[in-house]
């Protein structure tokens, strides 16, 4: 036998060994999942097929929708994006775009119908930008933590730059904000995004003092650290108590009160008393706002000061929080309009001192673009609350375990603490190893339960469980903690669930689509009764009350309406995306079509350099000779 045959034979044996081992492990965990589903998990799985087919239930759902949206015709916009980067001899071009598929659901028809609509000529629906960056300024657009990598080739350096991905997210957020802010007659009632808004919000969270684009000039003044502090404290919603008074970034609740009162001063004693606290409980927030902070490049003065008046402490600031927020949102709108509508790449340039203290024009860094995304997403959320627009994110694939590990782990620990909350059934239940991810676990359920039919979904759980989880302390005792023990994502903001929209049982093995992840914006009108069901309180976290719908028997109007509309929009006309809302697939088509044209346009950049004898790289010259 030759050496090559030995190589192929060894690989076949290794592949068979790994496959058999995986299959045995999968079958074992599938059996564990069956036992867990029968013993407990089925209480957390909601089937909607019977409800949505019943005529009386349909009329009730339509009445709910009509009261909330103001009619039985629901305009929607589905948004997706595209990005790419192209390398040339002396510069690199980053391109990004977002596209929105527009349509309308008509509930007066039986069954409800979908009609797609064309955008008017005066509406620039495709948010497109292209950024040619010279290699001499390439360091500006590389992630800050990857400044020195000791890499040699251009391709390796370019792979580290994520500016095109951030620009695509910015384009999607701006498109969503732009349509949400349109006139009352043109605004959609539902916005679908091909990503998780709650994950995006967590991904662009950072300290205000870490922002690099401070002093960006706009409207006869510059962006200040105070503006960034106020902006990153949003969104504000009094009815949902957002932001809350948990320990992590507690100062945001004080800024929200200043914004609500339209005042530059607040009586801290009264503020604490109304929330059942004393002044000592606000220590972290007061210290953050009144003490000097340091960044890598500067000393940051206090945001506010304490004044004692008649034995009571007042927090006094020179910053008008409402005006500052309006300014920062206006800056976001201006930059994005110049960038995506006017195609003016100079919006991404601003003066800033370099590492040697020399003031020069530089490109926005990924952190700068992340700040714009953070502002735009917060403004979008508040606009959706104000105008009653249902914001929903659909995620196709994820390896997360926020439902089976984080959420159920916390609820099990709450029950074990005899708090009267959580899931007592889990405390005594012997749960063996389950499938690796939530998606794999839940895609087993139609095989385990013949009575489960699409559409179905898990109960909704608060998106804050991305960061909340149960873990063992140094003594082996279980406790609830956040990231790095104390960092927790905002609660009561998005409700997350996992669901399936296509399932047919015509054969022995059911034909099904993938389980998808669903993010729904929380609304006071729907979710007020789920706000005080669970209380988590620890010395490091403070007091947290996540949104909670404990079982499938708990009435959840918001989830029912969202699932009903998503089920209508999932027509399963495209075999490549079975079980996925059709408008998002059309938005993907649109984004890829626009991206293809952008790619061809960017590729034509080489024509302008052909007159230069060194316009081609060594790699290009070598590859041009065919062997």
- Per-residue pLDDT of 291-325, as tens digits, reads 988 776 678 889 999 999 988 999 999 999 999 99
pLDDT number for residue 624: 61
Cβ contact 96:171 at 8 Å: yes
CA-to-CA distance for 520 and 533, rounded, in angstroms? Answer: 19
pLDDT number for residue 150: 42
| Residue 117 token pair | 């609509």
Cβ neighbours around 489 below 10 Å, total? 21
Average pLDDT over residues 67-88: 90
Residue 619 has pLDDT above 90, yes or no: no
DSSP conformation class of 124: -
Q: Could you tell me the pLDDT band of residue 134, with boundaries at 50, 70 and 90?
A: low
Of the two residues 389 and 22, the one the predictor is more confident about is 389
Q: How far is CA 243 from CA 238, 289, 489, in A?
A: 8, 16, 11
pLDDT single digits (tens) 208-223: 888 888 889 999 999 9
Of the two residues 389 and 167, the one the predictor is more confident about is 389
Residue 524 has pLDDT above 90, yes or no: yes
% of the chain at pLDDT higher than 90: 62
pLDDT number for residue 398: 82
Q: For the chain, which residues make up each domain, given as ranges?
A: 3-49+398-496+525-553, 72-208+366-396+580-622, 214-363
Q: How far is CA 150 from CA 139, 153, 154, in A?
A: 13, 10, 11
| SS3 of residue 430 by DSSP | coil
CA-to-CA distance for 493 and 352, rounded, in angstroms? Answer: 35
Average pLDDT over residues 610-625: 57
pLDDT single digits (tens) 342-379: 888 888 888 776 666 667 777 788 888 999 999 999 99
Q: How far is CA 397 from CA 4, 47, 464, 486, in A?
A: 38, 22, 20, 28
pLDDT number for residue 158: 46
Ramachandran angles phi, psi of 242, nearest 5°: -110, 125
Residue of 392, 387, 380 whose CA lies nearest to 565: 392
pLDDT single digits (tens) 431-446: 899 999 999 999 999 9
pLDDT number for residue 526: 95
pLDDT number for residue 209: 85
Average pLDDT over residues 90-119: 88
| Residue 409 token pair | 């782990």
Cβ contact 388:184 at 8 Å: no
Ramachandran angles phi, psi of 537, nearest 5°: -140, 120
SS3 content of the chain, % helix, strand, coil (to 5): 45, 20, 35
pLDDT number for residue 143: 55
* Angle, vertex CA 520, rays to CA 514 and CA 166, nearest 5: 80
Cβ contact 106:73 at 8 Å: yes
Residue 153 has pLDDT above 90, yes or no: no
pLDDT number for residue 468: 95
Average pLDDT, the chain: 87
Q: Could you tell me the pLDDT band of residue 403, with boundaries at 50, 70 and 90?
A: very high
Place of tokens 């929080």: 321
pLDDT number for residue 136: 55
């Amino acid at each position: 036998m030759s050496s090559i045959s030995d190589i192929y034979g060894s690989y076949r044996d290794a592949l068979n060994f790994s496959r058999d081992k995986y299959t045995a492990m999968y079958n074992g965990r599938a059996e564990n999942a069956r036992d867990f589903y029968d013993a407990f998990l089925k209480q957390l799985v909601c089937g909607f097929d019977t409800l949505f087919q019943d005529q009386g239930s349909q009329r009730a759902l339509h009445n709910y929708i009509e009261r909330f949206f103001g009619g039985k015709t629901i305009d929607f916009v589905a948004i997706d994006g595209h990005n790419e980067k192209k390398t040339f001899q002396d510069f690199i071009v980053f391109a990004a775009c977002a596209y929105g598929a527009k349509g309308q659901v008509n509930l007066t028809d039986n069954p409800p119908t979908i009609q797609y609509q064309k955008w008017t000529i005066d509406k620039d629906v495709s948010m497109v930008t292209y950024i040619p960056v010279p290699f001499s300024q390439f360091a500006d657009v590389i992630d800050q933590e990857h400044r020195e990598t000791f890499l040699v080739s251009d391709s390796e350096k370019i792979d580290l730059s994520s500016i095109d991905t951030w620009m695509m997210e910015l384009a999607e957020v701006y498109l969503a904000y732009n349509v949400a802010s349109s006139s009352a007659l043109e605004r959609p009632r539902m916005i679908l995004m091909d990503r998780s808004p709650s994950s995006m919000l967590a991904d662009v969270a950072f300290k205000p003092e870490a922002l690099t684009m401070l002093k960006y000039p706009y409207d006869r003044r510059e962006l200040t650290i105070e503006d960034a502090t106020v902006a990153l404290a949003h969104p504000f919603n009094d009815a949902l108590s957002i932001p809350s008074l948990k320990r992590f970034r507690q100062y945001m609740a004080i800024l929200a009160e200043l914004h609500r009162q339209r005042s530059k001063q607040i009586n801290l004693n009264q503020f604490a008393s109304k929330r059942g606290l004393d002044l000592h409980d606000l220590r972290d927030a007061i210290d953050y706002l009144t003490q000097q902070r340091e960044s890598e490049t500067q000393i940051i003065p206090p945001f506010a000061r304490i004044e004692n008046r008649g034995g009571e402490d007042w927090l006094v600031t020179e910053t008008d929080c409402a005006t500052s927020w309006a300014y920062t949102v206006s800056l976001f709108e201006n930059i994005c309009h110049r960038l995506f509508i006017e195609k003016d790449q100079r919006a991404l340039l601003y003066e800033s001192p370099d590492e040697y203290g020399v003031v020069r024009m530089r490109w926005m860094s990924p952190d700068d673009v992340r700040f714009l995304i953070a502002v735009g997403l917060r403004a979008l959320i508040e606009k959706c609350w104000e105008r009653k627009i249902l914001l929903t994110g659909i995620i196709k694939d994820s390896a997360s375990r926020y439902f089976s590990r984080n959420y159920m782990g916390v609820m099990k620990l709450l029950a074990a603490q005899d708090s009267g909350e959580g899931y007592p059934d889990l405390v005594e239940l012997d749960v063996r190893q389950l499938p690796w991810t939530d998606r794999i676990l839940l895609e087993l359920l139609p095989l385990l339960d013949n009575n489960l039919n699409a559409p179905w979904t898990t109960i909704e759980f608060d998106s804050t469980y991305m960061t909340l989880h149960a873990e063992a302390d140094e003594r082996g005792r279980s406790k609830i903690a956040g990231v790095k023990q104390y960092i927790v994502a905002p609660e009561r903001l998005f409700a997350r669930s996992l669901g399936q929209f296509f399932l047919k049982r015509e054969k022995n093995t059911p034909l099904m689509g993938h389980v998808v992840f669903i993010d729904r914006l929380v609304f006071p009108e729907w979710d007020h009764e789920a706000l005080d069901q669970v209380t988590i309180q620890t010395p490091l976290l403070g007091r947290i009350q996540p949104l909670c719908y404990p079982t499938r028997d708990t009435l959840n109007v918001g989830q029912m309406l969202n699932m009903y509309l998503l089920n209508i929009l999932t027509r399963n006309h495209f075999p490549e995306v079975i079980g996925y809302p059709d408008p998002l697939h059309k938005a993907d088509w649109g984004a890829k079509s626009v991206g293809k044209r952008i790619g061809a346009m960017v590729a034509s950049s080489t024509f302008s350099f052909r007159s230069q004898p060194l316009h081609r790289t060594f790699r290009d010259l070598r590859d041009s000779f065919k062997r």
